[in-house]
Each structure stands twice: as C-alpha cells, then as structure tokens.
Amino acid sequence: MHEGGVHETPALVSLDDIRLAAGRVRALACRTPLLDVRTSKNTDRAEAEVEAGLQTRLMLKCECFQPGGAFKIRGACNMIAQLSSEARSAGVITYSSGNHGRAVALVAEAFRAPAVIVMPETTPRVKVDGVRRHGAEVVFAGTTSTDRKVCAEGLAKARGLTIVPPFDHPWIIAGQGTTGLEILEQHSQVRSIYVPVGGGGQIAGISAAVKRMRAWLRVIGVGPVGAARMSASMAAGRPVTLETTVSIADGLLTLRPGDITFAHVQAFVDGIVTVTDEEIAAGVKWLFHAAKIVAEPSGAAAVAAALRTLEPDTVAVVSGGNVDPDAFAGYIR
C-alpha cells in the first residue's frame, strides 16, 4: 500500500505463467473431460424436444473428476512444486473449508511434505475424512475464513511452516488457470464459460488464460445469493468483506475475495451473477439425472446459472464432487 492509503494494483499472472504451471501440475492433476450434454430448460419437455430436434447442448468441464474430487489440486500442485526442498521438509499449512485442504494434503503427501490443514468446525465429515486419508493433521478453527486464516498464520509462525493460500497467490491462480487452457484445447469455438466463485482463484486463473487467447470469449462468475461477496466487490470497485455468508454451497462462503483475485476479475471477467440455494440444489439434481455426475453444491453453482439461458457453445465448470451422501440423496430425490 502507498502512503495515503492508495492500494497498488496487484500484478496479473501471464499466459506463460499458466503454461508453465500446466507442466508442473501434469504429474498429479488429470486432464478432465469436457462432456457434451443435451438438455432442455424444461425437463418435462425433454423427450418431446429430442424428437423435434430442439434440445440445447451444455458442455461440462468435469473438475469433480480430479484426484481429491475438485479443481483445487491444480493450484496446490503448482505452488508446492515450486517450494524449495527445505521449505517442503519443514512442512506446509493452509486454511480451507475442505477441497483446498484436501488438495494440499494430497500434494504434500506426494512430495513427502508434512501438512497441517485448518478447517472450520462446520466442515462436512466427507471433506475432513478426505484430508486425513492423506496423512495431514487437521486443526479446527471457528466457522469463518477469517477464523481459520488467523489460526493458520499463528501456527505457520510457531512451527516454521509455509502457507499455501486457498486462492490469493499468483502461483495458485496460475495453477487454476490450466483449466482454461484445457477448455480451449477441447472446444476451440466455446463462446461462454461459467465458473463458480468463492475467493476467486479459479475464475481469476481461467479468465486470465482464455481472455489472453480469445478476447471476445465471455467469462461469467457465479456465486450464491447468500454469499455474494464478488458481486458486492465489483459494484464497489474494491474487495468488500461481508459480515456473514449463508448457503448450501459450503465451498463458496468466503467473506472477502482476495486482492489479487479481484484484480484479475476486474481485468478479465465479463460479469458476476448469483443463484439461489434452490437453483443450486436443482443443478446438483440435473447433473445427476442428465449427466450421471455427482457434484457438491459449490460445484453445481455454475451449472445452475448456465441452465437459465442455455446459450450455444457454453461451458459450465463443475468444480467439485465432495458431497455428504445423505445431503446428496436429498438433492437428487
């Protein structure tokens, strides 16, 4: 920050940064499929529309198929791969509602680095178990992103650990941007990409990648109505901190976007829309019945928004599939 309280504009990751990240993440992250699913805005009319040839196609970038069940492995791998051997030996720590924590645990295990994951007390059991399966230590701290960040910073200082942030770091953003490279390789004529938005790491990376290669391509961020921190921030022209967030999309409940991720959203993203919990639940149900995909609510948010319009050559990123089985049964019933 300059004197007088004027913020410096964070540097944006380059296309070369993202291309180099693609080489680093290849060892652990998989190239996820882009599924082409025929659908209808009115599912009751689907059969009739098939016969009439009126159905629309929605393409799904299935990051829920990643090791660890979410896109987060890309950023975690890109960052931990660039740490010195000394830093990896000392260990890494992060603060996460679940998927990033699991990704850090998985990548740290592969690099033989100790890992500590600070998680909210409300984290679904499926995500806690996923972290522990990779040998990481779990520490619970409060219910907000601020609670767990403060806890992680204290532990990092006390134990000499390297923090692997969930979203607000150039290496994390570059790693997430490799999804954008794959989308363009898999469907060069894509016109719109819908991306779930929490802290903004995924949409920052994807938009930085695709906009530098296809400036006309539309990138739309999607967040829950009850956690619209990116919409509020875009309206204010600066990162805004919400007092509370509430949604079934537990992975999208960050109170504030990152400074670096927000700069990318301002530079590259065409719009931010919100979806209700009812729409998100309907998205989870649609993914299961139309595409046979298991998605968590956070992972289905972009699909929920894309289903409103069903524009041609649209991709929705299904960002994660780590969902409590009982809750999932309720969504698809």
What burial letters (b/e) apply to 13-23, b meaning 16+ CB within 10 Å?
bebebbeebbe
Is-contact 257 233, C-beta < 8 A?
Answer: yes
Query: For the chain, what is the radius of gyration of the CA atoms?
Result: 19
Is-contact 28 106, C-beta < 8 A?
Answer: yes
Q: Which residues pair with 218 in a beta bridge?
A: 192
Nearest residue to 255 via CA among 147, 183, 102:
147
CA 72 to chain centre: 6
Q: Which residues pair with 37 in a beta bridge?
A: 58
Is-contact 250 145, C-beta < 8 A?
Answer: no
3 state SS of 9: coil
Q: Tokens 């070369």 label which residue?
A: 16
Distance CA 32, CA 121 (A): 31
DSSP for 193-262, written as a single string: EEEE-SSSHHHHHHHHHHHHH-TT-EEEEEEEGGG-HHHHHHHHTS----S----S-GGG--SS--HHHH
Distance CA 148, CA 116 (A): 12
Question: Which residues are identified as catalytic?
Answer: 72, 319
Nearest residue to 103 via CA among 183, 15, 175:
175
Nearest residue to 57 via CA among 307, 312, 305:
312
